[in-house]
């Protein structure tokens, strides 16, 4: 069974996916796939060079900072970037899940933009990791050193968490302790199959 794991920024999704790995489950990580596609020798690099030119590169190495500056605040360029990366990420997530899926097995896809990229059909069930807006802001202030205004802008730039919660098959609330979050994960897994991997 394929389970999609998603959420919004600073909602605790990485904590949940890390715990799933501790429990022995395979997790296809869309962010890690994206990084590998844009790492030296990555599949996306020739496409990015063609789309945005040599200015976003230091030799053969992509400057993520320069690329970020180029697409930040420019919807057309950001759309061009997404049109390059998203199909490659979707295909790789699909292939990784297919390679690890088997009867009586749970596999997970950790995909921040699961709904935005139209990937819901790839999964049998979808779990959304959720937190209150104030918790998101507090985590962004501590984790990324952002100002409150910048934190709010990043949250508001994403699909509303309320909509993701409404679309999901289950919601994991990460406002409490890490152990509380882990207990919710275990309960969800137990509700799907009594044969949880050790």
- What CATH number is given to the structural domain containing 127? 3.40.50.300
Bridge partner residues of 4 (DSSP): 109, 126
Kindly state whether residues 83 and 141 are assigned to the same domain. no
What pLDDT tens digit does each residue of the chain (198 aa) get? Answer: 999 999 999 999 999 999 999 999 999 999 999 999 999 999 999 999 999 999 999 999 999 989 988 987 788 998 999 999 999 999 999 999 999 999 889 999 999 999 999 999 999 999 999 999 999 999 999 998 889 998 998 899 889 999 999 999 999 999 999 999 999 999 999 999 755 444
Task: Quote the pLDDT of residue 197.
Answer: 45
Domain shared by 96 and 110, yes or no: no
Give the pLDDT confidence score for residue 123 in this predicted structure. Answer: 97
Place of tokens 């990937």: 119
Of the residues 52, 83, 105, the one at which a domain ends: 105
Q: What pLDDT is recorded for position 178?
A: 96
Distances (CA, A) of 66 to 52, 61, 136, 198: 11, 11, 27, 44
Number of domains in the chain: 2
Domain boundary among 63, 82, 105: 105
Both 154 and 81 in one domain: the answer is no
The label of the residue with tokens 């807006």 reads: 133
Tell me: do 19 and 98 sit in the same domain.
no
**Domain termination residue (choose one: 105, 135, 164):** 105
**What's the rounded Cα separation, in Å, for the pair 4 and 110?**
6
Same domain, residue pair 193 and 127: yes
* Co-location of 192 and 98 in the same domain: no
pLDDT of residue 194: 54
d(CA 131, CA 85): 28
Residues 153 and 174 in one domain: yes
Q: Tell me what pLDDT residue 83 has.
A: 95
Residue 14, pLDDT score: 94
Residue 62 and residue 7 in one domain: no
Q: Whole domain around residue 97: which residue ranges?
A: 30-105
Q: Two tokens at 57?
A: 């590169």
| Shared-domain flag, residues 136 and 175 | yes
Whose tokens are 């599949």? That residue is: 43
């Amino acid at each position: 069974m394929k389970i999609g794991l998603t959420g919004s920024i600073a909602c605790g999704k990485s904590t949940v996916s890390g715990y799933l790995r501790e429990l022995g489950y395979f997790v296809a990580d869309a962010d890690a796939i994206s990084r590998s596609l844009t790492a030296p020798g990555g599949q996306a690099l020739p496409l990015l060079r063609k789309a945005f030119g040599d200015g976003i590169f230091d030799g053969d190495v992509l400057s993520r900072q320069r690329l970020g500056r180029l697409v930040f605040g420019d919807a057309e360029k950001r759309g061009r970037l997404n049109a390059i990366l998203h199909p490659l990420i979707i295909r790789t997530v699909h292939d990784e899940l297919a390679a690890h899926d088997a009867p009586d097995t749970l596999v997970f896809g950790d995909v921040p933009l699961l709904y935005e990229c139209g990937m819901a059909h790839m999964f049998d069930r979808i779990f959304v990791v959720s937190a209150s807006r104030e918790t998101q802001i507090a985590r962004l202030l501590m984790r990324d050193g952002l100002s409150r205004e910048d934190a709010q802008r990043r949250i508001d730039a994403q699909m509303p968490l309320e909509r993701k919660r409404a679309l999901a098959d289950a919601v994991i609330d990460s406002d409490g302790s890490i152990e509380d979050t882990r207990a919710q994960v275990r309960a969800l897994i137990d509700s799907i199959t009594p044969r949880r991997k050790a």
